[in-house]
Structure 1
Amino acid sequence: MPDGTLSVLYRAYISCLNDQDWQSLGSFVHEDVRYNGERLGLSGYRGMLEADFRAISDLRFTIDLLVAEPPRVASRLTFDCTPAGLLFGIPVNGRRVRFAENVFYEYRDDRIGTVWSIIDKAAVASQV
C-alpha cells in the first residue's frame, strides 16, 4: 500500500472516532486488533473507545503529526478536553486539560491490526 493511501485511511479512521461512528469502526480496525500487547478484538476496542467518550464528553482526536510507512503509521495526537472524574487515575473532575498521545499502528488487510499507545499522563498531572 502506498504511503499516501495509508495516510488517507488513517485520517478517515480519526474522523470515524471523532464522529463516534461505531458502526463503521470495523472498516478501519481489524476484528483481531491488539492494543499495547493485549488482544482486545474489535468489540473490546470499540468498548474502550466508547468508555473514553462517556468519560470525556468533549473528546476530540486531533492529529498533530503523522508519518506513514506501510504497513505502519506513527502519530502524535493532541487532546484539549474536560474529563469527568478520574483520567488515567488522576482526579481531573471536570477541569480542562491538554495532553498528547504518541501512538503507533500496524495495518493488516488495510485495517489497524496492532496499536501501541503512550499517553503523556505527566502533562495531565501537572495541570490539576
Structure 2
Amino acid sequence: MTPEELRAFYEGYIDLANKREYHRMAEFAHDELILNGTPVKRDDMVAEFHKHTDAVPDFHWDIQDIIVQGDRIAARLVDTGTPIAPWNGFAPTGASVKFEEVGFYQIVDGRFKTMWYLMDVDLIRRQLAG
C-alpha cells in the first residue's frame, strides 16, 4: 500500500470505530493479530472496542497526527467521552474526559497485524476525580 492508501486505511478504521461499525472489522484486521504484545483473535479486539464504548457510549477518537513509514502507521489521537459505567478501573463520576492516545500499527497484506496503543491514564484519573 502507498503512504496515501495507508493514511486513508487508518482514517477509515477510526471512522468505523466512531460509527461503532465493528461488524466491518474484518476489512481492517487479520483473524489473528498482536494487540499490545498479546496474540489475540479479531473478536477479542472487537470486544476491547465494546468494553470502551459500552462504558463510555459517547467515546470519540479524533485523529491529530498520522505518520506512515513503510508498512507502519503511528497516530496521535485525542479521545473524549463521559464514562457511565466502570471503565479501565475507574468509577464513573459524571465527569467527561479528554486525553491523548498514541497508536502504532503494522499492516500486512492490507490489514492490521500488530497494534499497540497507549493512553494517558493519569490524566484520565485526574479528570474523573474532579
- Short-chain TM bin: over 0.9
Tell me which moved more, 113-122 or 76-85. Answer: 76-85
Once residues 102 and 64 of structure 1 are traced to their aligned partners in structure 2, the CA distance between those partners, rounded to angstroms, is: 10
CA distance in 1, matches of 2:122, 2:76: 16
Alpha-carbon deviation of 1:117?
1.1
CA RMSD of aligned residues (A): 1.2
CA displacement 1:41-71 (0-9 Å, x = unmatched): 1111011111211110101111011111121
| 8 A Cα contact 2:29 2:112, kept in partner | yes
Could you tell me which residue of structure 2 aligns to residue 38 of structure 1?
A: 38
SS in structure 2 at match of 1:61: strand
- Map 1:1-128; keep pairs closer than 5 Å: 1-127=1-127, 128=129
Q: Distance in 1 between matches of 2:50 and 2:88?
A: 16
Q: Per-residue displacement from partner, 1:7-46 (whole Å, max 9, x unpaired)? A: 0101011111111112211101111121111112111101
Report Cα offsets for 1:52-92 as digits up to 9, x if no partner: 11110101111011111121000011112101233322334
Q: Deviations over 1:73-120 (max 9, x none)?
A: 000111121012333223343311111111100111111111111110
Q: How many residues align?
A: 128
Kept in 1, the 8 Å contact 2:52–2:87? The answer is no
Once the two structures are aligned, what percentage of the paired residues are identical?
25
Task: Note the residue ranges of structure 1 that are not aligned, 5 or more in a row.
Answer: none
Q: Separation in 2 of the partners of 1:32 and 1:14?
A: 20
Give the counterpart letter for 1:6 in structure 2: L
Output the TM-score relative to the length of structure 1: 0.93
State the one-letter code of the partner of 1:119. M
Q: Which runs of 5+ in 2 are unaligned?
A: none
